[in-house]
Structure 1
Amino acid sequence: MDKIECTDKIQELLFNIPLFKDLPSNIKQTLLEKLDCQFFHIGKKEVIARQNTPCKYLYVLLEGKLRTDIIDALGNEILIEYIEAPRTFATPHLFSADCTLPATFTVLEEGILLTATKESFFRLFAQEPGILRNFLRITGNCTHCTVKRLRMLSYKSIRSRITAYLMEHRQAGSDTVTMVHNQQQLAEYLGVTRPALSKEINKMAKENLIRLDTPKVHLLAPDLLQQFI
């Protein structure tokens, strides 16, 4: 990572993330003075933070894209999510009891990263209750997403994991899913091999449970699919 100066463009990106968005102008003007922070250019394949290391900073991805992986008890690498700017990440672990990161964050697309020390960010809470409210809301959303992710990985069969994914991503009031992952990414996300995933998807299509219309998947029998989850 290469340290860079904060520009007007970077400040604009910073104040568009949910944590700092809609703050009064007087708070925005002094925020960077109150935070002990640094800005970095991050390159592809760089590791920003590693699993099982202490979370010492508030992390804000201002530009770029990250991949989040965990190594499970069996030594398998499991894709958790893709993180796209602009947003904070790893927020639930900043003030947790042991402050240990549960995952490794790797750069997929180069961008800009802000890091701020935990101590300076904590002081900011006391001075600006609005930022504290935003932080608690973001942390709650992250926890909810983690619970959903772990629930999906708890399913034993590939079909159950595929079904859970489709149900989670189906459009409101519709039986159509617009895929956000290609097949390789989906296999990694579901913790299965690509050949096994492809085989099961084809079986589900032959059984008229789903119809493939890349990048869309149509759920032909939602009620029947529910029995797998």
Structure 2
Amino acid sequence: MDKLYKCPLFKGVNADDLDQYLSNIHYQVKKYNKDQIIAQAGDQCNSLMIMLKGSVKGEMIDPSGKAIKIEDIEPPKPLAIAFIFGQNNYYPVNIIANTEVEIFKLSKESIIQLMQVSAPFLQNFMNNISNRAQFLSDKIRFLTFQTIRGKLAHYLLQLAGPLEGEIILPKSQEELASLFGVTRPSLGRALRDLHNDGIIEAHGKSIKILNRDLLIQQLKKD
């Protein structure tokens, strides 16, 4: 329960009230092994899943059969919350366990019951859906970039925001290659090219943008 309280969906919900709410609705806690498929793209999404333990990844398969990792999800985040309601409520990606995983599951009917008795839960749920919509919009925009340099430029500009100075990459090159849907050597070459062209200065995970205008121009190249 301590892990569940930390989920952003229950922000502002009194712990005693949450205990009482959950005592009156149906829920499950399910365990999965490493590499086990939790949900497949195209499966109907009929329940809210909240990470309690471990890590999972959302993975999309492109027409060539290449796996593109969308993101890693860890406790106490919910999974696929934007796809529970609506006419086409199907998982858009495969959800696969990175490690041994425990997940709290709440049926759609129970979600509605909880919304009716807890205004903070309802507001948190709506805010989370809006945040996911914004994330997916950014992801779609990112995937439209045709070149690795374009993808890398977009990623670095997002990390930097309006600020100047050093950026510390939160992911390894291997993780970034998986995120971009490219090979690690190809990503490494693109990073070196940006460095050699004087657009960025790269030392391991430390990146400094030297010419923001030229980096932005990489977004427009096919």
Q: Is this a same-fold pair by TM over 0.5?
A: yes
**Structure 2 Cα separation of the partners of residues 169 and 79 of structure 1:** 19
Q: Which moved more, 1:188-197 or 1:174-183?
A: 174-183
The answer to whether the Cα contact below 8 Å between 1:78 and 1:191 also exists between their aligned partners in 2 is yes
The answer to whether structure 1 residue 15 and structure 2 residue 5 are counterparts is: yes
SS in 2 for 1:228: helix
The answer to whether structure 1 residue 225 and structure 2 residue 212 are counterparts is: no
The answer to whether the Cα contact below 8 Å between 1:170 and 1:178 also exists between their aligned partners in 2 is no
The answer to whether the Cα contact below 8 Å between 2:80 and 2:91 also exists between their aligned partners in 1 is yes
**Structure 2 Cα separation of the partners of residues 55 and 26 of structure 1:** 29
Partner of 1:131: 121
Q: Which moved more, 1:160-169 or 1:19-28?
A: 19-28
Q: 2:102 aligns with which of 94, 112, 131?
A: 112
Q: How far is the alpha carbon of 1:158 from its aligned partner?
A: 1.1
Partner of 1:50: 40
Q: How far is the alpha carbon of 1:213 from its aligned partner?
A: 2.3
The answer to whether the Cα contact below 8 Å between 2:38 and 2:97 also exists between their aligned partners in 1 is yes
Shift in CA distance, 167/34, structure 1 to aligned 2, threshold 3 Å: farther
Partner of 1:5: none
SS in 2 for 1:32: helix
Partner of 1:3: none
Q: Where does structure 2 lack aligned partners over 5 or more consecutive residues?
A: none
The answer to whether the Cα contact below 8 Å between 1:40 and 1:114 also exists between their aligned partners in 2 is yes
Partner of 1:60: 50
SS in 1 for 2:55: strand
Shift in CA distance, 24/109, structure 1 to aligned 2, threshold 3 Å: same
Partner of 1:69: 59
**Structure 1 Cα separation of the partners of residues 23 and 54 of structure 2:** 25
Q: Deviations 1:77-109 (Å, cap 9, x if unpaired)?
A: 211111121111100000021210001111112
**Structure 2 Cα separation of the partners of residues 38 and 198 of structure 1:** 44
Q: Where does structure 1 lack aligned partners over 5 or more consecutive residues?
A: 1-10
Q: How far is the alpha carbon of 1:171 from its aligned partner?
A: 6.0
TM-score normalised according to structure 2 size: 0.92
Partner of 2:181: 191
SS in 1 for 2:146: coil
SS in 1 for 2:171: coil
The answer to whether structure 1 residue 33 and structure 2 residue 23 are counterparts is: yes
The answer to whether the Cα contact below 8 Å between 2:51 and 2:77 also exists between their aligned partners in 1 is yes
Q: How far is the alpha carbon of 1:26 from its aligned partner?
A: 4.1
The answer to whether the Cα contact below 8 Å between 2:201 and 2:210 also exists between their aligned partners in 1 is yes
Q: How far is the alpha carbon of 1:117 from its aligned partner?
A: 0.9
**Structure 2 Cα separation of the partners of residues 77 and 175 of structure 1:** 34
- Name the count of aligned residue pairs: 219
TM-score normalised according to structure 1 size: 0.90
Aligned-partner residue type, residue 177 of structure 2: A
**Structure 2 Cα separation of the partners of residues 47 and 85 of structure 1:** 18
Q: Deviations 1:168-195 (Å, cap 9, x if unpaired)?
A: 1126623322212211111111122222
Partner of 1:145: 135
Task: Give the RMSD, CA atoms, in angstroms.
Answer: 1.5
SS in 2 for 1:141: helix
Shift in CA distance, 73/34, structure 1 to aligned 2, threshold 3 Å: farther
The answer to whether structure 1 residue 177 and structure 2 residue 167 are counterparts is: yes
